[in-house]
Structure 1
Amino acid sequence: MSSPRTDLAQTLRRLDGGSYGAYKQLKGSWRLGDAELIVDRVQSDPYAPPSLARIRLSLSDTGIPRELIATRDARVAAGDFLTREFARAARDLGPRGGKDSGGISIQRTGQEILERSSVIVPDPGSAVDPAPARESGMHRAGDAGAVDRGRGAGRPASSTAEAGAVEVRCEIALPAAGRRIKGHAAHRLLTEVLPGVVERSLRWENLDPAAFEAHVTSHLDAQHLRAQLPQRGLVAFVADGAVLPRASGHRDEPLARGAVPFETPPRLRVELELEDGSTVSGMGVPEGVTVVVGGGYHGKSTLLQALERGVYSHVPGDGRERVVTLPSAVSVRAEDGRAVSHTDVSPFITNLPTGADTRDFSTSNASGSTSQAAATVEAVEAEAGVLLLDEDTCATNLMVRDERMRAMVPGEREPITPFVDRVGALYAERGVSSILVTGGSGAFLDVADLVIAMDAYRALDVTDRARQVVREFPRPEDMRPAESFGQIRPHVPGGVPGDAASRASGHDAARSGPGVGPGAAPGAHGGHDGGVTERVAGARDDSRGRSEHRGGGRGQHGRGGSDRSSGRPGGRNKPARARGLDTIQLGREDVDLSALSQLVDPSQTEAIARLLEEVERTADGRTPLTELVDATLERVVREGLDALAHHRGHPGHLALPRAQDVAAAYHRVRR
């Protein structure tokens, strides 16, 4: 293996004034003081996306105390913190111009602490610092071209040196004058500004130790609180003093003025333990059915939104640092117009006038009620521990059906069973809790285990009052809840709908675990109004060019065979990629994820795009979607986000998503 080159300054001076394409000579490994700069990809044009680079600095040279990064969770938080510090230093020290002066950037961050690909902090227990380089007394932070052992051919990998180094993955826009190289500006950017950014953001002596420790502690505390929820029979916890309101609908920072700190109703107060053994008090939301009521603008949706984001840890000062929810919590809503593909919606929709079997329901344009029914079943299949619903974003006819409407339309003529009739059985049979916000219907009071009222942003336990109201205004006999939630079939990617083989390997229709999937009516496709149309032979398919074939090879990931000519499922020529937070471009299709309100970072969406390709490659017509998603995510957790890289080196902007969001994205692909 070759050592990093030491002539970066001379090379940049020599390139000055040359054609922009000559920047390609920068590709490779360079000595940068104590650090190493690895240029993985050089932009072809000053207007093209920036060049991709990595910077390695040995853990010992950073000076970061090893006891602060001893656990995996601590290293995740440390990487998130260093990403923010690198971005801040690049803004402060970097040039403010455009293509004339170039620039340095890194993955953007928000209020959540996420596992990211932007900065990798090594395990100090396995880190072996590189041997000191003889020349100039500098330490070598790693060799370019090192091969990762255990990840297979074509994978970016970790050498012994890499194992002992903090690695930053950044973007560098190389300066230009027209389409000529500005060598002197590039010299300043790479040999003065970049080392300064590294010094300020990676050296312990230049960091704020208290801020570093607070960031790590915030994540460790939240993880510790989350782990206690099932042990205490809780699905969520909101600490006393938490600040739930946000600055605005488009800004996730805490409301600067006028926010009312959260105060727990006395009967709901519990104490949980923090990482250091101290305790924190707050409201414990128990398993079962919780209904949140209150007048408009009194804080109901604000509480629910905080619980939605409680699946993530938050940065110090956010106000929600100690607001935690079960990691598997899923927000469910209506999604008018979404696609539904071979989903068992029979717990909520049956007896269609066409006689179609709703255990295998498909439509390219679902109504609000149909889309919410599908989303609910999909969340149950994805093993959600609690569903979060707000009547403002739900389909009324799927949520409730009042006495007058039942009198107008007899039950045998109504295909929809409302959620209020199933929510109790959903918890009793499957252990899936629900938290519902309602202000317009009291129907859920009959089935509520706990009722919380939000009054001027203050939480009150009004369960006793709710039970009194139920006694005063009893539910008619013909509106009693269903005794059973019903069986649902697992969704099995890669199989032929209705084919028994696709439900083989022990995954039959009667399995007791949550699931959705292929059923007995392969030709049925629900219309927007719940009607059914048949797929006509020779008609254009909704798949927009996507093939039914799903190969088992790994194609572009260097893991084996390829599918057709592209190495990607469906014969796509380009890899799936994110377009912002809410969209995945999959071949010629744009997959709309705007209803997945618990996605918080475009880097998660990019990771989901790549995971969808992995799921499609491994689909065999027998394995349920949940198992495929779990297997791919387990590999990512084991090997790191670099396992999703399309090529060696800089893996792109990635952040670890939840299994529930990966599955939800899969279900929204039109097939």
Structure 2
Amino acid sequence: MQSQNELRNLLQRIDHKSYPAYKDTRGSYDFGNYVLSIDHVQGDPFAAPSKVSVHVRGGAAKFPADLYRMKCRRLAVCDYLLRQFGQELERVSFKAKGSGKSGLLAVSRPGQEVLERTACQMDEAKGDLVLRFEVGFPANGRTVNARELEKIFFTFLPECVSHSLFYKALDEKAVYRAADLAEDQQYIRDHLKEQGLVAFVADASILPRESGVSGRPMKDAVKFTAPESMKVSFALPHAGKIQGMGIKKGITLIVGGGYHGKSTLLKALELGVYNHIAGDGREYVITDDTAMKIRAEDGRSIKKVDISMFINDLPNGKDTSAFRTEDASGSTSQAANVVEAMEAGAETFLIDEDTSATNFMIRDELMQRVVNREDEPITPFIDRIRELYEQYGISTILVAGSSGSYFHVADCIVQMNRYKPQEITAFAKEEADRFPLPEVKPPKQAAPTFERAVRPDRAFKEDARMKLKTMGRDGISINRDTIDVRYVEQLADTEQLAALAYFLKYAEIHVFNGKRTLRESVSLLMQYVEEHGLAAVTESSYVPCGLAMPRAQEIFACINRYRRISL
């Protein structure tokens, strides 16, 4: 490790030289109460910015041990510090001048969810802290402008670090609020099962968002109030007693008129698999962390999925116990999504009628009279929903706006009326009795098998330097191949997509071997990350600053949508 004076002398020595002279700055420099590490230097002022990290020893940062010994608290503190550090960087970004990206100072910008990120990590043993971010090394044209970089490293950055990464400089109460909230959220999640619940929505939650492209809460929105018959409570470690609506295991139907909040509630439940920051409004919307959103996905590829529970006896004789297609229909894709979610270990399905294939969800009595049951290869979801719960332990929360047939199979029916929930199970069941469903005996197909072995793509073996790129939240590009994840709706952050790209690359080289099943492969990936950290899958000489941890369920979804993978 070198001293900060050695860095200053180096910068003065390379001033006005050709831009590649900046490469000499790579290394670590002692700034007294922190270490500055220049991990990767951009080759051009117009290229992606340089990667820099700040390391603060636990003894210098002096965060109390109870803030970082528990994982959920540690992640919340890291999230808080990242937001504070980001505000400091934003204040000085581009104050150093030059061409291209000169003077840029940027760090991950978290949304409403609290995620594990490589941008900020804290050691659970000693509280050592690492912040990773990007710096645009200044240039005049393509000539080193070291004096401007000196401003960044010796004036701007020390101020940012001192104001945001040391416990004594922070609002102690705010830091503890973030950690305590995360522990309370985790407490609810850990205790859902013992109360027989798959989800919980606290009273006074704010579910509507300010717009379709914003995750922030809507101002003056109607606060959530649980129906009396569905009220449950938790005694939280820090916030004390909290009440709200408990959604029990089984089949829950959410109904109501258009624009009354059905899909808004479901969307909150989708993202309830993550913890949220204070002020989000959904802090205490907690969902079973294996829950998966299921929808139709026209055009997606399907590889060797056993969809015979729902589709069989095709007129062309095609085998549906190992179904393949490069262009799935709505019903076929939704059937595959259900079975793949079962393979991924989901214990709760979240379904919105609006994004489902009608013929997959239900066939009304008139259609069954006109088109004989024996001539229809699709067994609709309504005929399997009870079996999924009773035999496989998979609950379903379903939003329905036009089909009343699900009243017959639901265990609980909630009507949303002007964003306020009302439990109407008895009334709805009574009305449903006046419109009996035709008796249906679903074909007794065997349970789907999950023995798909994953074979690696030879291109990865031949060239491990393949280019990875994310396209917002829509997809991942691996060289010229795109994995479309637009409809994997529980991906909350673009940095999760970046991590998925590295997961896939690592798995292709080290995990997929044609013998391990998909389940075994994902389990091995998760175990590797648990033992070595999220950054380990990058196998990079430095840790990228823009990765966020996805769930195992999203890893499954990504692999299933990669057309070049052989299953």
Matches within 5 A, 1:438-587: 438-477=400-439, 480=440, 482=442, 486-494=446-454, 549=458, 564-566=461-463, 568=464, 573-587=465-479
Query: Shift in Å at residue 648 of structure 1?
Result: 2.1
Match of 1:379 in 2: 341
Match of 1:46 in 2: 45
Distance 1:182 1:277 in 2: 52
Counterpart of 2:270, as a letter, is E
**TM-score, normalized by length of structure 1?**
0.81
Residue 356 of structure 1 pairs with residue 253 of structure 2: no
Match of 2:551 in 1: 658
- 1:43–1:51: 8 Å Cα contact kept in structure 2? yes
Distance 2:491 2:188 in 1: 21
Match of 1:410 in 2: 372
Matches within 5 A, 1:620-639: 620-639=513-532
- 2:308–2:445: 8 Å Cα contact kept in structure 1? no
| 1:300/1:98 CA distance change after superposition, 3 Å | farther
Counterpart of 2:148, as a letter, is A
Distance 1:469 1:661 in 2: 39
Matches within 5 A, 1:595-614: 595-614=487-506
Distance 1:88 1:33 in 2: 23
Distance 1:327 1:645 in 2: 25
- 1:422–1:481: 8 Å Cα contact kept in structure 2? no
Matches within 5 A, 1:170-249: 170-249=133-212
Counterpart of 2:294, as a letter, is V
| 1:652/1:389 CA distance change after superposition, 3 Å | same
- 2:3–2:31: 8 Å Cα contact kept in structure 1? no
Match of 1:118 in 2: 119
Distance 1:192 1:3 in 2: 19
Counterpart of 1:281, as a letter, is Q
Residue 398 of structure 1 pairs with residue 360 of structure 2: yes
RMSD: 1.8
Match of 1:89 in 2: 88
- 1:575–1:586: 8 Å Cα contact kept in structure 2? yes
Distance 1:439 1:314 in 2: 29
Cα deviation, 1:261-319, whole Å, max 9, x if unaligned, reads: 11010010001231338221110000000000000000000000000000000000000
Counterpart of 1:331, as a letter, is K
- 1:429–1:485: 8 Å Cα contact kept in structure 2? no
Query: Shift in Å at residue 447 of structure 1?
Result: 0.5
Match of 2:72 in 1: 73
Distance 1:310 1:494 in 2: 31
Match of 1:645 in 2: 538
Q: Which structure 1 segments of 5+ residues have no match? A: 128-163, 496-546, 551-562
Cα deviation, 1:455-480, whole Å, max 9, x if unaligned, reads: 11100000001110121111123xx3
Query: Shift in Å at residue 70 of structure 1?
Result: 2.2
Cα deviation, 1:38-70, whole Å, max 9, x if unaligned, reads: 111100000000001111111121122222222
Query: Shift in Å at residue 488 of structure 1?
Result: 0.5
Query: Shift in Å at residue 384 of structure 1?
Result: 0.4
Q: Residue 453 of structure 2: SS of its match in structure 1?
A: coil
- 2:77–2:179: 8 Å Cα contact kept in structure 1? yes
- 2:233–2:244: 8 Å Cα contact kept in structure 1? yes
Counterpart of 1:179, as a letter, is R
Tell me which of 350, 363, 371 is aligned to 1:388.
350
Query: Shift in Å at residue 654 of structure 1?
Result: 1.1
Match of 1:292 in 2: 254
Q: Residue 472 of structure 1: SS of its match in structure 2?
A: coil
Distance 1:611 1:463 in 2: 44
Q: Which structure 2 segments of 5+ residues have no match? A: none
Distance 2:72 2:112 in 1: 17
- 1:425–1:485: 8 Å Cα contact kept in structure 2? no
Query: Shift in Å at residue 355 of structure 1?
Result: 1.0
- 1:238–1:322: 8 Å Cα contact kept in structure 2? yes
Cα deviation, 1:293-347, whole Å, max 9, x if unaligned, reads: 0000000000000000000000000000000000000001111111111111111
- 1:265–1:283: 8 Å Cα contact kept in structure 2? yes
Counterpart of 2:113, as a letter, is E
Distance 2:462 2:418 in 1: 61
Distance 2:239 2:23 in 1: 54
Query: Shift in Å at residue 93 of structure 1?
Result: 3.1
- 1:429–1:484: 8 Å Cα contact kept in structure 2? no
Question: Bigger CA drift: 421-430 or 17-26?
Answer: 17-26
Distance 1:401 1:107 in 2: 47
- 2:14–2:146: 8 Å Cα contact kept in structure 1? yes
Q: Residue 594 of structure 1: SS of its match in structure 2?
A: coil
Residue 261 of structure 1 pairs with residue 196 of structure 2: no
Question: Bigger CA drift: 480-489 or 332-341?
Answer: 480-489
Question: Bigger CA drift: 94-103 or 407-416?
Answer: 94-103
Distance 1:4 1:635 in 2: 35
- 1:343–1:491: 8 Å Cα contact kept in structure 2? no
Match of 1:619 in 2: 512
Cα deviation, 1:494-553, whole Å, max 9, x if unaligned, reads: 36xxxxxxxxxxxxxxxxxxxxxxxxxxxxxxxxxxxxxxxxxxxxxxxxxxx7559xxx
Tell me which of 555, 558, 563 is aligned to 1:670.
563
Counterpart of 1:93, as a letter, is V
Query: Shift in Å at residue 577 of structure 1?
Result: 3.9
Residue 334 of structure 1 pairs with residue 296 of structure 2: yes
Distance 1:627 1:219 in 2: 30
Tell me which of 272, 289, 296 is aligned to 1:310.
272
| 1:250/1:467 CA distance change after superposition, 3 Å | same
- 1:308–1:325: 8 Å Cα contact kept in structure 2? yes
Distance 2:445 2:72 in 1: 37
- 2:454–2:517: 8 Å Cα contact kept in structure 1? no
Distance 1:401 1:583 in 2: 34
Distance 1:418 1:289 in 2: 16
Counterpart of 2:511, as a letter, is T
- 1:6–1:31: 8 Å Cα contact kept in structure 2? no
| 1:361/1:474 CA distance change after superposition, 3 Å | same
Question: How many residues matched?
Answer: 561
- 2:106–2:134: 8 Å Cα contact kept in structure 1? yes
Q: Percent identity?
A: 39
Tell me which of 224, 235, 238 is aligned to 1:273.
235
Query: Shift in Å at residue 237 of structure 1?
Result: 0.2
